[in-house]
A and B are shown apart, each in its own frame.
Chain A
Amino acid sequence: MVEPATATQAAAPAVPQLKDELDIVIPTIRNLDFLEMWRPFFQPYHLIIVQDGDPSKTIKVPDGFDYELYNRNDINRILGPKASCISFKDSACRCFGYMVSKKKYIFTIDDDCFVAKDPSGKAINALEQHIKNLLSPSTPFFFNTLYDPYRDGADFVRGYPFSLREGVPTAVSHGLWLNIPDYDAPTQLVKPLERNTRFVDAILTIPKGTLFPMCGMNLAFDRELIGPAMYFGLMGDGQPIGRYDDMWAGWCTKVICDHLGLGVKTGLPYIYHSKASNPFVNLRKEYKGIFWQEEIIPFFQQAALPKDCTRVQKCYIELAKQVKAKLSKVDPYFDKLAEAMVTWIEAWDELNPTGAALPNGKAK
């Protein structure tokens, strides 16, 4: 039986790393009570809260946190017509938070994710581990059988080419979940009681050329290296599909990271995922995605970006072109999505002019 940690007080680090360089982006529609448990780990950091759903509802943020909060009205006001690329009534709206952030790093977490315990019973500071992952190199060109070689107590194994031991910068750190696993609706229906109790004490780089399902529940990334690729697509209200926001962002991100020689890590840290969403509701959201992904995956596996795409934005626009060209025959949704991808980049560049260093937005 796996349980969340309760005594997190003692575990807070003496000096919170990257305090002024990292924002925590949290989408929410309910409340932010879960922040109480994360307080010792999160309090030193600036939060960006993206309120989904009814903007007239007030989301109470626990005292003592430094935050800015955006609801749908804010998103419409700030982006104007470009707000159409931000999903409504879906946690995909979180990517608005990435766009307005002024920091180098982003950590995003769902509001039903709590602090997990490692096998010794110690509370896991997920943020600290993500930072470690992002600040140490990745090794996408050759697989190290002892996993992350930069970890204490680990190293490159015999046969690992020395020329590849410096690694590449890490753009994404993908964490995992104990308790409720991130299954799709059909699997949830067949195994409603399955819980992930296995603590796999490893971080590894996902090799170049390999795609993976990126879950947005417990995710961190270097915004300067890969931010514009983290568009979470058109989901939720008025869209034919849901629960593929993070998947879409993950596939785009991985293709671009592979092209630019950046690394993506997966594994530690674990968080404790407490809420199982309704599998019947999920099935309705995912239904089309289950068929579409059979076309989408080969598309991404074969996607090639031209050599002159050296900036993320350029890579992303190029991908959008290819989505329009190759996936619109699957469904007209992809036409809309391709356009939204371009709108997203335009909005990103507008809010993030190169060279400007801006202070945090104010809390609402």
Chain B
Amino acid sequence: MRTPPCLLSLTLDSAVLNLSNITDLSPLPDHILIELFLRTLRAGKLTERVLKLFIATGKDEVFSLIQALNIQVTVNPVLPTRALNFDLTSFMNVWRPIFSRFHLTIVKDPDLKEELKIPEGFNLDVYKEPDIDRVVGTSTSIIFSGYACRYFGYLVSRKKYIISMDDDCLPAKDNKGFLVDAVAQHITNLTTPATPFFFNTLYDHFTEGADFVRGYPFSLRNGVTCALSCGLWHNLADFDAPTQALKPEERNSLYVDAVLTVPARTLMPISGINIAFNRDLVGPALLPCFRLATEGKFRWETMEDIWSGMCVKVICDHLGLGVKTGLPYVWRNDRGDAIASLRKEWEGVKMMEEAVPFFQSVRLPQEATTAEDCVIEVANAVKEKLGSKDPVFAHTAKAMLDWVKLWKSVGGSSSSPGA
């Protein structure tokens, strides 16, 4: 008969599960602290924040363990969140078990007049209009308002991976009824290779129980680095206004249990609602440059992320980087009236008809080996081929060049050359 675990052991296990709510470990006796440290490590929950908690106790044994085990601070995701509502309390609380592990970046839409309400217990930076003005100055043509305010967060972050989520998104449930850790899934997507050169019919081979199928060339099985991970949405899917207006009751409840690499040279609409990317590799390629004249406050009144997404995909294809789509899902709250937005949407729809053929045919020179170089090339091509078709394109091209300048001066070291 197995001896049941002692009370102390059960307590320690419970502590590991509730690390997100612990803010101070110094009252713990040394031997319990060490045991907690080891269990946290074994459970894979030794994040930067938790490591700092242990270091803050000042105990020698903890330091020796850290040295002996050669633990280094790993890069962590940053979450810029655009604030359409000023009250982020319920949003932050519902994500607390997942978000509290990381350093957050919240960017307040300059058009939002109210003060932000943010609950306690998070490790975060909040950027508002004065901060934005201070960092970027006033000479730039980039406007960080509306959904585009999050790009400011991307600009000032110094972390390797960024996860970006709209503030009307909640954790979704998977097909077994468990809450999805969207952040963990995005990180998995970004830290496992992508396979853009040949389609695997069993989808992402890095999931358990899947592998490359018969007929998949062996030379392509190493894959390439994944630079962008695009998640999906339950409930209110990212439809455009005409579609949503036509099907007002339509809600997405299908859980497609797959991640797949979008093949090279294939374009797709990359929604900014739930994405993650490798800032080192493609940071500058996500850009707040395409503004519709009638851009509004609801997602289906914008196209900025769609434009940015096509730039990123073309650049990833050129640099030999991968883009994945599929899991994770987030649950998106109902918001807005599609019919009211129809009039604003039309402009974006028209422009997409010009933009898509352009992106499908644009070719970047071999000399462009970094994301910055690629953005400049794309911007020049936009000016040349689309500039005369609509003033919005001409303005976008200029904004893209301004963005690269801004990135080079404010964005820290330049991005690494493509893999």
Contacts and interface: CB of A to CB of B under 8 A. Distances in A.
Q: Do A and B truly interact?
A: yes
Interface stretch (A55-63, A91-99, A197-205, A335-343): A197-205
B339 interface: no
A359 interface: no
Interface string A147-168: 1000001111111111110000
B41 interface: no
Contacts of A73: none
Contacts of A293: 215, 217-218
Given A147-B256, A153-B252, A181-B211, A159 B269 contact: yes
B265 A209 contact: yes
A145 B310 CA distance: 13
A1 B66 CA distance: 41
Contact of A198 (B210, B217, B263, B306): B210
B80 to A, nearest CB: 20
Contacts, number: 171
A191 B269 contact: no
B216 interface: yes
Task: Place the interface of chain A in its size category.
Answer: 35 or more
Contact of B217 (A202, A214, A294): A294
B95 interface: no
B257 A200 contact: yes
B300 A198 contact: no
B258 A196 contact: no
Given A155-B250, A158-B300, A297-B198, A213 B271 contact: no
Nearest to A195: B209
A144 B252 CA distance: 14
A212 B253 contact: no
A187 interface: yes
A225 interface: no
Contacts of A211: 198-199
B26 interface: no
Interface stretch (A101-109, A129-137, A242-250, A322-330): A242-250
B206 to A, nearest CB: 13
B268 interface: yes
B250 A161 contact: no
A194 interface: yes
Interface string B119-142: 000000000000000000000000
Given A154-B254, A201-B257, A143 B217 contact: no
User: Which applies to chain A's interface (DSSP): helix, strand, loop or mixed?
Assistant: loop
A210 B266 contact: yes
Nearest to A214: B215
B219 A294 contact: yes
A172 interface: no
B214 A215 contact: yes
A250 B213 CA distance: 14
B271 A159 contact: yes
Contacts of A160: 240, 269
A161 B352 contact: yes
A169 interface: no
Given A142-B267, A243-B214, A215 B201 contact: yes
Interface stretch (B4-12, B152-160, B231-239, B382-390): B231-239
B14 to A, nearest CB: 32
A153 B269 contact: no
Contact of A157 (B210, B238, B265, B353): B238
Contacts of A162: 349, 352-353
A271 interface: no
A319 B207 CA distance: 36
Interface string B216-256: 11111000000000101000011110010001001011111
Contacts of B239: 155-158
A211 B266 CA distance: 12
A112 interface: no
A213 B349 contact: no
B299 interface: yes
Contacts of B247: 155
Contacts of B309: 159
Given A153-B250, A194-B209, A266-B201, A142 B356 contact: yes
A277 to B, nearest CB: 11
Between B198, B211, B271, B300, the greatest number of chain A beta carbons within 10 A of the residue's beta carbon is seen for B211
Contacts of A194: 209, 211
B91 interface: no
B311 to A, nearest CB: 13
A119 interface: yes
Between B220, B232, B266, B271, the greatest number of chain A beta carbons within 10 A of the residue's beta carbon is seen for B266
Contacts of A294: 217-219
Interface of B: 175, 198-203, 207, 209-220, 230, 232, 237-240, 243, 247, 250, 252-258, 262-271, 299-300, 303, 306, 309, 325, 349, 352-353, 356
7 contacts: A145-B269, A154-B254, A160-B240, A183-B211, A201-B257, A207-B262, A209-B266
Given A153-B254, A155-B239, 18 more contacts: A153-B250, A154-B254, A155-B237, A157-B239, A158-B269, A159-B309, A160-B269, A183-B214, A196-B210, A198-B209, A201-B257, A202-B254, A207-B266, A210-B263, A213-B215, A243-B214, A286-B214, A293-B218
Interface of A: 119, 142-147, 153-164, 174, 176, 181-184, 187, 191, 194-202, 206-215, 243-244, 246-247, 250, 266, 286, 290, 293-294, 297
9 tightest Cβ-Cβ pairs between the two chains A and B: A213-B215, A159-B269, A159-B306, A143-B268, A207-B266, A212-B199, A210-B263, A158-B240, A247-B215
